[in-house]
Amino acid sequence: MGRNVLVGITGGIAIYKVCDLVRDIRREGYNVRVVMTPFAERFVGRITFETLTGHRVLTDWDVDPLAHINLARWADLFLIAPCTVNTLSKVALGIGDNLLTTTVLAYDGPLILAPAANTVMWRSAPVQENLKKLKDRGVIVVEPEWGVLACEEEGEGKLAGKERILDWIHYALTPKRLKGKRVLITCGATREYLDPIRFISNESSGEMGFSLARVMRWEGADVKVIAGFTTAEEPPEVEVIRVRTSEEMRNEVMKALEGVDIIVMNAAVSDFRPKKREDRKIKRRGDLILELERTGDIIGEVGKRKGNRFLVGFALETEDLEKNARRKLKEKNLDMIIANPHDVMGSRHHRGVLLTREGAEEFSFPSKLESAKFLVDRIVRAISS
């Protein structure tokens, strides 16, 4: 990746969380440098961040009289975390009274602030006014979360989790090739109930669909996810509608079709459901003969109504992978289909074949997020051609 991320650290108790954040930013493949306010050093010494980044940490101009200019020119992205309300207000008002805030004035790239504060301070009128100024200016503010604060009060003010902050870094540095596009994604497993307790389902984790949602949001799309049961972590800043059964998923999909440009049907929808659902728990009384009926064909119904929408499907097969997937591509009126061997379900590794009417392309990646980047790139190319 090789992009440069400058991390500004201010003097707040949440600074201890930024040690892990800086380490993880570097693990994501970014080059990282740190600039601290003088007061921040009273919480964590600069040697900690020098060890984590491999670069000298600056707090003033002693080493380089043009440090604010050189740091600003080096950075592809400037993140301030934790950002105290003092620094937030200085940035909003254009005050440069230390190396960090002066570097902000010299910097003209994407700027992310991740504030942390006492709840009353965060909600105060001056801070909220300055917050609005920053947002109106295009600054990304990763707003604090609700929790128990260092002052033992409970409320909004806790530094956002590192996964949210990392997600915004990816967002800020990703070209917006899907800006203005509305995307609908289904993912996860549906459950078809025999009684109030037992159900028929599968091992889908939802990780592929959630990864696609992340990457499409980074590309600038307005993303909505309709999810069945999942074990993967939900993508930050994405609307997720939860369903249980295939019928609930079908109803939500049909409601969400209006105005959508791209539809990705990744959910592992049960093909069969019990013909009769018992209202009470089925007791253990000898053998149980279960009669099943087919569930509705959601993707087939969407294919008939897709119009100019770009429709992507998935096929999980135990045999004749490409043959079965190509049949589904044609029968369901899809623009693209991703054919996967059955062992990718519930696995972190992802491999398969991407098929369109023009041809096929094999792929294999160590994670579903990397696979999602590849698939989104192919979708972007297809809708742009």
Report pLDDT for 217: 98
Find tokens 């029968």 and name the residue: 331
Among residues 184, 191, 185, which one has the least CA distance to residue 207?
A: 185
* Max mean pLDDT range (7-16, 116-125, 338-347): 7-16
Report pLDDT for 282: 87
On whether both 124 and 186 belong to a single domain, the answer is: no
Among residues 36, 103, 38, 101, which one has the least CA distance to residue 66?
A: 103
Domain closes at, from 121, 156, 173:
173
**3-class secondary structure, 162:** helix
Among residues 122, 115, 113, 114, which one has the least CA distance to residue 155?
A: 122
Contact 142, 165 (CB under 8 A): yes
List pLDDT tens digits, range 68-90.
Answer: 999 999 999 999 999 999 999 99
Angle subtended by helix axes 99-106 and 85-93, to nearest 10: 40
On whether both 141 and 52 belong to a single domain, the answer is: yes
Give the CATH number for residue 39. Answer: 3.40.50.1950
Contact 265, 192 (CB under 8 A): no
The rounded distance, in Å, linking the Cα atoms of 35 and 275 is 64
Domain closes at, from 173, 207, 225:
173
On whether both 158 and 81 belong to a single domain, the answer is: yes
CB atoms within 10 A of CB 345: 16
Domain count, the chain: 2
On whether both 248 and 289 belong to a single domain, the answer is: yes
The rounded distance, in Å, linking the Cα atoms of 341 and 347 is 11
Domain that holds residue 96: 4-173
Is the model's pLDDT at 285 over the cut of 90? no
Report pLDDT for 343: 82
Cβ-count burial of 116 within 10 angstroms (0-12 exposed, 13-18 middle, 19+ buried)?
buried
On whether both 140 and 20 belong to a single domain, the answer is: yes
Domain closes at, from 130, 153, 173:
173
Average per-residue pLDDT in the chain? 93
On whether both 169 and 190 belong to a single domain, the answer is: no
Is the model's pLDDT at 159 over the cut of 80? yes
Give the CATH number for residue 265. Answer: 3.40.50.10300
List pLDDT tens digits, range 339-385.
Answer: 999 888 767 788 999 999 999 999 999 999 999 999 999 999 999 97
CB atoms within 10 A of CB 86: 18
On whether both 216 and 362 belong to a single domain, the answer is: yes
On whether both 87 and 205 belong to a single domain, the answer is: no
Long-range contacts (CB closer than 8 Å, 24 or more residues apart) made by 275-284: 277/193, 277/194, 277/195, 278/194, 278/195, 278/196, 279/195, 279/196, 280/195, 280/196, 281/195, 281/196, 281/197, 281/198, 282/194, 282/195, 282/198
The rounded distance, in Å, linking the Cα atoms of 10 and 85 is 10
pLDDT higher at 116 or 152: 116
Catalytic residue among 19, 83, 151, 187: 151
Residue 383 is given by DSSP the state H
Residue 330 tokens read as 């044609």
The rounded distance, in Å, linking the Cα atoms of 198 and 207 is 24
List pLDDT tens digits, range 218-254.
Answer: 999 999 999 999 999 999 999 999 999 999 999 999 9
On whether both 25 and 147 belong to a single domain, the answer is: yes
83 carries an active-site annotation:
no
> Residue 45: pLDDT band by 50, 70, 90 thresholds?
very high
On whether both 154 and 245 belong to a single domain, the answer is: no
